[in-house]
Amino acid sequence: MPETHDAVEVIVTKRNKAALSDEQIDWVVDAYTRGVVADEQMSALAMAILLNGMDRREISRWTTAMIASGERMDFTRLSRPTVDKHSTGGVGDKITLPLAPLVAACGVAVPQLSGRGLGHTGGTLDKLESIPGWRADLSYDEMMAQLESVGAVVCAAGSTLAPADKKLYALRDVTGTVEAIALIASSIMSKKIAEGTAALVLDVKVGSGAFMKNLDDARELAQTMVDLGRDAGVTTVALLTDMATPLGGTAGNALEVQESLDVLAGGGPDDVVELTLALAREMLLAAGREEVDPADKLADGSAMDVWRAMITAQGGDVDADLPTARERHQVLAPSSGVLTRLDALAVGMAAWRLGAGRARKEDPVQAGAGVVLHAKPGNTVKEGRPLVTLHSDDERRFARAEQSLEGAFDIEAPAGPGATGAPAPRDVILGRLT
């Protein structure tokens, strides 16, 4: 079969700021998956897309072409409605862990096909793998059976869903082309649509610890994804949420599992509880179950029951102690006053350098490593008392982790000159798009 297009022609079209035709998009995504379009050609195209953009038709077609590169799943034979949730990633973002069993406890099936972490944001699978015995790799039949019996599953996405996206994502990661709204949106949505969920709630993070550093970019990304969902017949809603400061009081793997257990037990940090309930309500609304109040399911222990069933079904020992790091190091508050800023990216980098994250896909992660925050913005801190505690199996990592935190927080003296008083509590939820 002769090729219907040629890579240079497609690249030059976008380079010259023209729109790609449906045929060009179908061909280039398919030919890249087949290896006919080379990596160095696709990276040049990705850079041209990043700098010159794609319009809504192009993004929609690109997403469809990526879905067509692989298999599609189908949840319609399940006895309950399915709703999926996706977060664009942030520091301390453990929300999937309490959320999936909570929504399942409300009668909705929650399939969470997740990934591992790369760089400063943690991966959901890395967190759950800190539970002794828990395994991420399920067969299609195992996943379906668990969705039917337990109602919630968090597992690794198979390589048969949108393989074009898998290949393109790895390429973008090494070519400075990750931060293209068109490519981020089509990457996320191609996987979610191929997965076959009936409804989808997006948690689009905004701030230093997120891909999107400002509200305008986050809103554009969210709207693009909501539009793509609608085009594909998937009920889609997006919340814009704060990632200027970390979520909750921990960033790490086992540390975040423990914090999630606190939430499932009816406690946990306010911001994690607030965001978990907000996302649960959106998921229930999308599934037509808005009459159920998820707060009740946290209070009565039924969310915790689903958690235990979900972890046990995947081989995890829910009664085993979680791993802890061999070494700890405290960072002390340099002055007394009100903590007015604690930078998410800096905390994420510190957790990564402590061993909680990986620099390359093949790197291992430490289950116990991470950062524990003793104060959040708005809290009062005292000079010489611990501000954060660093956890790692390797004490040589503390120095570089501490470097990450330099300039990462502001403390204002309560009545000193220049003080502006305690900041208003930050809103976790900054906006909503449908």
Size, binding site for a copy of itself by CB under 8 A: 24
Q: Nearer Cβ to a copy of itself, position 11 or 109?
A: 11
Q: Catalytic residue among 69, 187, 190, 208, which?
A: 187
Q: Nearest CA to 76 among 234, 214, 185, 266? A: 234
Measured CA distances, 316 to 128, 175, 251, 370 (Å): 9, 37, 21, 21
Which residues within the stretch 136-195 sit at the binding site for a copy of itself (CB under 8 A)? 171, 174-177
Active-site choice (30, 165, 262, 343)? 165
Minimum CB distance to a copy of itself smaller for 109 or for 180:
180
Pick the closer one to a copy of itself by CB: 12 or 318: 12
Site string for a copy of itself, 237-256 (x = CB under 8 A): --------------------
Min CB(213)–a copy of itself separation in Å: 12
Rounded CA separation 242/222 (Å): 14
Return the number of the residue (6 or 148) whose C-beta is nearest a copy of itself.
6
Residue of 94, 116, 172, 329 marked active site: 172
Return the structure tokens found at 351: 């957790």
172 carries an active-site annotation: yes
Q: Is 187 a catalytic residue?
A: yes
What's the token pair of residue 270?
């306010």
Say if strands 409-412 and 337-342 run parallel, antiparallel, or are unpaired.
antiparallel
Per the residue annotation, which of 61, 127, 167, 191 is the catalytic one? 191
* Cβ 8 to a copy of itself shortest distance, Å: 5
User: Is 305 a binder of a copy of itself (CB under 8 A)?
Assistant: no
Residue closer to a copy of itself by CB (options 171, 313) is 171
DSSP string, 369-391: -EEEES--TT-EE-TTSEEEEEE
Annotated active-site residue 165? The verdict is: yes
Round the CA-based radius of gyration of the chain to a whole number and report it.
22
CB 355 within 8 A of CB 369: yes
> Segment 20-59, which members bind a copy of itself (CB under 8 A)?
38-48, 50-52
Interface residue with a copy of itself among 3, 4, 8, 384 (CB under 8 A) is 8
Which of 14, 61, 86, 281 is labelled catalytic?
Answer: 86
Cβ 305 to a copy of itself, closest distance in Å? 45
CB of 71 to a copy of itself, least distance (A): 27
* Integer Cα distance of 200 and 231 in angstroms: 13
Q: Which residues of 193-215 are buried (b: 16+ CB within 10 A; e: fewer)?
A: bbbbbbbbbbbbbbbbbbbbbee
Contact predicate 297/354, CB 8 Å? no
Single-letter code of the amino acid located at 95: I
Cβ 253 to a copy of itself shortest distance, Å:
25
CB of 12 to a copy of itself, least distance (A): 4
Residues 264-293 that bind a copy of itself (CB under 8 A): none
Count of beta carbons in the 10 Å neighbourhood of residue 18: 11
Instruction: Give me the least distance between CB of 281 and a copy of itself, in Å please.
Output: 38
Residue 2 CA to residue 8 CA, distance in Å, equals 16
Chain centroid, CA 143 distance in Å: 21
Question: Which positions touch a copy of itself (CB under 8 A)?
Answer: 7-8, 11-12, 15, 38-48, 50-52, 171, 174-177
Active site residues: 86, 165, 172, 187, 191
